Amino acid sequence: MQQSAVKVPKVTYAAIPQDQLEILHAYYEEAQKQIPQKLGKHYPIAINGQRVAGQGKTIEVRSPIDTDIVVATFNEATSDQVSQAVDAAAEAFKIWGSMNYQERVNILRQAASNFRDNKFELAAVLSVEAGKTRMEALGEVEEAADLISWYCDQMEENHGFVREMRRIIPNENNKSILRPYGVWAVISPFNFPMALSTGMLAGVLASGNTAVFKPASATALSGLEVYRMFEEAGLPSGVLNFVVGSGSTIGEQLSDNPKISGLAFTGSKDVGLHLMRKFSYPYARPCVAEMGGKNPTIVTSKADLSKAVEGIVRSAFGYTGQKCSACSRVYVFSDMYDQLVDKLLERTAKVIVGDPRQREVFMGPLIDERAVNKYLSAVEEASADGKVLFGGHRIQGIGMERGHFVEPCIVADLPQNHRIIKEELFVPLIALVKVDTLEEAVNLANDTEYGLCAGIFSEDRAEIDYFFNHIEAGVVYANRSGGATTGAWPGSQSFVGWKASGSTGKGALGPYYVQQFMREQSRTVVED
């Protein structure tokens, strides 16, 4: 079936066109048939527009669905190759950084089109490499395309960020101009290997910088596909370079390189803070970092429980809880607690776990064995210190024997200072907590070093306003059954982390993101 033969509906994380699902499934299934041609091959890195073999140790990427499936192999970039990539980006900046912003935007809009034109093929890669379900994978590719388009819109709407300023004397001309820094290191995580990397790269490139891009090793093939979409859009050589390797080696090499002018990072709090500290020497350089969350949802006495249950389940167990925005804590008013628990257990029992390439599956595997062990350890702690109400086991049934599959898990009766309440786990586990007032719920929700996402379910506008005004989080939702704390979209919801969840107070997907990759220059010309 040709994609051009019929209008293909758009998928987002919070909105799936139910009346057109068959079209989506048909295209996706056709793309999955072609995926074996990509698997098991040895892939290169890319420096200065050339595909070259990495000269370091071999990395083998295996599917979390079935560890017998070798998705791809790469050789890590050596220290010399990382330096070559930075040098290539620095040389390319001389042209790309001085290019008219509209020329850059035109190239990047072609990259967005490339993502849209190849979305089923790219989604199929995401499923087998990252373990994403069909709709999660399609949504991610759509988000990648929309991120590029949105940042291009920002460049155009702000006329390249050139602004006329007031005159002090009649014959002077004053302007404020935002100009690119130079070379940026872009380090992306496994959980949104296309959308998050593309978003950071789009911000970097649209504003006139060049980049060295390092994806997570677990999803390196997805990273290479991102590079390909930009490469085939016509980027000049050296503007974008692609290297593979461990974060502890290549991340350090990039942050230590004096030619790196800025760092864009998405990942754990500990790694992000470490890179930020390193990146402040010998002088402060910009570091745009998103570092996770411990995202609460509040359910009040005035909530619609049907909305609440659906929103919690979709947010907590979508992509197996491996989202920075995933709901992991639920604060429930005491008079609604038993009702919510009953409905939540009933709905969670309907969550289908399995091979994410199958159309009926809602929850696929965790990314690796380490994540499974983290899940099992958390369940053991919850059982010892509280109660496990649902799930808590590894699944190794037919078709899942060699994968990283676990059950969705609901726990309760843990103390507020418990590790499960405090730490980001990145697994499909939510903790329920009884509260008596909205003030208590908000205070407990805020009792964390994170501040990324938060949600409330209440039909009372006064309660919603109180929540919005007192919650310490950058992305807040009310009554969102499509995802209590998840599902932000470019141009609709800025994705901004407060406290330890972010470094700048300005969010991706929003109207203030792309400016972070530029610095201001004031220009004055006095005319005779």
Best CA proximity match to 328, nearest among 409, 438, 383:
409
Listing from the earlier edge strand, what are the strands of the sheet with 260-266?
Answer: 50-52, 45-47, 240-242, 210-214, 183-187, 260-266, 287-290
Q: Give CA–CA dist 306/312, Å, rounded.
A: 10
pLDDT, tens only, 186-223: 999 999 999 999 999 999 999 999 999 999 999 999 99
Cβ-in-10-Å burial (0-12, 13-18, 19+) of 10 comes to middle
Q: CATH topology for 3-153+181-291+507-519?
A: Aldehyde Dehydrogenase; Chain A, domain 1 (3.40.605)
- Give the lowest-confidence range in 88-102, 113-127, 270-284, 407-421: 270-284
> Is residue 236 a contact partner of residue 92, using CB atoms and an 8 Å limit?
yes
Q: Sort strands 405-406 and 450-451 into parallel, antiparallel or unpaired.
A: unpaired
> What is the pLDDT averaged over residues 131-148?
98
Question: Above 50 in pLDDT, residue 4?
Answer: no
Range(s) within the chain of domains with CATH label 3.40.605.10 = 3-153+181-291+507-519
Q: Give CA–CA dist 356/39, Å, rounded.
A: 17
- How far lies 216's CA from each of 189, 194, 223, 266, in Å? 5, 11, 8, 10
The number of CA neighbours under 13 Å toward the Cβ of 430 is 34
Residue showing tokens 């369940």:
379
- How far lies 151's CA from each of 145, 148, 292, 398, in Å? 10, 5, 22, 45
Question: Above 60 in pLDDT, residue 2?
Answer: no
253-258: long-range pairs with CB below 8 Å, 24+: 253/79, 253/82, 253/83, 254/82, 254/86, 254/185, 254/187, 254/212, 254/214, 255/185, 255/279, 257/82, 257/83, 257/86, 257/185
> Is residue 20 a contact partner of residue 489, using CB atoms and an 8 Å limit?
no
Q: What is the DSSP string of 387-398?
A: EEEE---EE--T
Residue showing tokens 């006495």:
301
> What is the pLDDT averaged over residues 224-235?
99
pLDDT, tens only, 290-339: 999 999 999 999 999 999 999 999 999 999 999 999 999 999 999 999 99
**What is the sign, positive or negative, of the torsion defined by CA atoms of 472, 475, 478, 480?**
negative
Residue 117, pLDDT score: 97
> Is residue 374 a contact partner of residue 404, using CB atoms and an 8 Å limit?
no
- Residue 523 has phi, psi (to 5 degrees) of -120, 130
> What is the pLDDT averaged over residues 256-284?
91
Residue 3, pLDDT score: 52
Q: How many residues does the chain have?
A: 528
Active site members: 290
Residue 13, pLDDT score: 86
CA 179 to chain CA centroid, Å, is 26
As given in the structure block, the two tokens for residue 487 are: 């599902």
Q: What is the DSSP string of 179-208?
A: EE-SEEEEE--SSSTTHHHHHHHHHHHHTT
Q: Is 295-489 a CATH 3.40.309.10 domain?
A: yes
Residue 6, pLDDT score: 52
Range(s) within the chain of domains with CATH label 3.40.309.10 = 295-489
Helices (H), 58-133: 79-96, 101-117, 119-130
Best CA proximity match to 158, nearest among 471, 465, 520:
520
Q: Give CA–CA dist 439/301, Å, rounded.
A: 13
Residue 279, pLDDT score: 84
The greatest distance separating any two alpha carbons of the chain, rounded to the nearest whole angstrom, comes to: 83
Listing from the earlier edge strand, what are the strands of the sheet with 387-390?
Answer: 387-390, 409-412, 429-435, 327-333, 295-299, 453-457, 475-478
pLDDT, tens only, 354-399: 999 999 999 999 999 999 999 999 999 999 999 999 999 999 988 8
- Give the lowest-confidence range in 8-22, 378-392, 468-482, 490-504: 8-22
Q: Sort strands 162-164 and 172-180 into parallel, antiparallel or unpaired.
A: antiparallel
Question: Above 80 in pLDDT, residue 7?
Answer: no
> What is the pLDDT averaged over residues 244-255?
92
> Is residue 14 a contact partner of residue 101, using CB atoms and an 8 Å limit?
no
Q: Give CA–CA dist 32/373, Å, rounded.
A: 30
Q: Within 10 A of 260 (CB to CB), how many other CB atoms are there?
A: 22
Confidence of residue 16 (pLDDT cuts 50, 70, 90): confident
What's the one-letter identity of residue 238? G
> What is the pLDDT averaged over residues 443-469?
98
| Mean pLDDT across the chain | 96
> What is the pLDDT averaged over residues 137-148?
98
Predicted model pTM: 0.96
Confidence of residue 282 (pLDDT cuts 50, 70, 90): confident
Q: What is the DSSP string of 45-76?
A: EEETTEEE---S-EEEEE-SS-TT-EEEEEEP
Q: Give CA–CA dist 223/43, Å, rounded.
A: 11
